[in-house]
Amino acid sequence: MIRLEALTGHHDRNGFDCGEALLNAWLQQIALQHQNRGIARTFVAVPADELVAHAWARSGYDVEADSILGFYALSAAFVLRDDLPAKKAKRFPRQIPVTRLGRLAIRTDMQGQGLGRLLLADAVHRARAAAQAVGSAGLFVDAKNTGAARFYQHYGFLPATGQPLKLFLPLG
Ligand SMILES: CC(C)(COP(=O)(O)OP(=O)(O)OC[C@H]1O[C@@H](n2cnc3c(N)ncnc32)[C@H](O)[C@@H]1OP(=O)(O)O)[C@@H](O)C(=O)NCCC(=O)NCCS
């Protein structure tokens, strides 16, 4: 029903709304530039094909074949040991290479249906595969707010000591 693929100029970025203006603006104005420059890789969830898009449209969703249902972005990054949960940080040097989950968002009318979980699982899978070739201790995220932080904790991310919006999922 849903396909996950790398963002291209063919996707309808302007039609996306997750309810967070900054995340919408990043997708609409920055994501493709960063994709083309290798700064961040953005992956989007889209209807698997035209038939699926039509089926959604018949159920009342404003969806077309090029609609973005959700997205996330990954980049290479360094974080400081203090940005990790103290228990994990003990094992690492002062600066630690990680994979940063920069953004994750689902369009408002499709939130709460398991899409966020699907995209997060895909991000973990890609980060783990990439870490086999280029060292990365784990997936790191700066959550936008405590609600988003709870979502990541639900899936095993651990908050940094004293910094509950910085979360880490070891990949090792
Ligand atoms: C946060 C967000 C990505 C979650 O995606 P979603 O598709 O709505 O979530 P799902 O339906 O996949 O939910 C998966 C699980 O997470 C839980 N969950 C979802 N949002 C949650 C929240 N804010 N707090 C705690 N748990 C949450 C669900 O209850 C569900 O649990 P279950 O599997 O035990 O039933 C989505 O709501 C969103 O895009 N929000 C706006 C943008 C945003 O805040 N992004 C985070 C940026 S750091």
Q: How many CA atoms lie within 13 A of 116 on its CB side?
A: 18
CATH number given to 2-170? 3.40.630.30
Other beta carbons within 10 angstroms of residue 131's beta carbon come to: 18
Per DSSP, the residues of 5-25 read: EE--TTSB-TT---S-HHHHH
Nearest CA to ligand 1 atom 9: 116
**Ligand 1 atom nearest residue 143's Cα:** 48
Nearest CA to ligand 1 atom 1: 148
Query: What lines the ligand 1 site, CB under 6 Å?
Result: 18-20, 23, 104-106, 111-117, 143-144, 147-148, 150-151, 154
Q: Are 107 and 17 in contact (CB under 8 A)?
A: yes
Answer whether residue 40 shows pLDDT above 90: yes
**Ligand 1 atom nearest residue 119's Cα:** 12
**Ligand 1 atom nearest residue 107's Cα:** 39
| Distance (Å) from CA 121 to ligand 1 centroid | 13
What is the mean predicted confidence (pLDDT) over 131-151?
96
CA distance 70 to 116: 8
Which pLDDT score is estimated for 91?
87
Which residues, including other chains, have CB under 8 Å from residue 67's CB and lie 6 or more apart? Answer: 12, 15, 16, 46, 47, 53
Model pLDDT for residues 129-138, shown as the tens digit of each residue: 999 999 999 9
Where do the structural domains in the chain lie, given as residue ranges?
2-170
Nearest CA to ligand 1 atom 28: 112
What is the mean predicted confidence (pLDDT) over 143-171?
96
CA distance 51 to 64: 10
The SS3 assignment for 74 reads strand
Report the relative pairing of strands 138-142 and 95-106 from DSSP bridges. Answer: parallel
What's the mean pLDDT when you consider all of the chain?
96
| Distance (Å) from CA 149 to ligand 1 centroid | 9
**Ligand 1 atom nearest residue 23's Cα:** 42
Q: Which residues are catalytic?
A: 152
Nearest CA to ligand 1 atom 37: 111
pLDDT cut 70: percent of the chain above it: 100
| Distance (Å) from CA 150 to ligand 1 centroid | 8
| Distance (Å) from CA 113 to ligand 1 centroid | 9
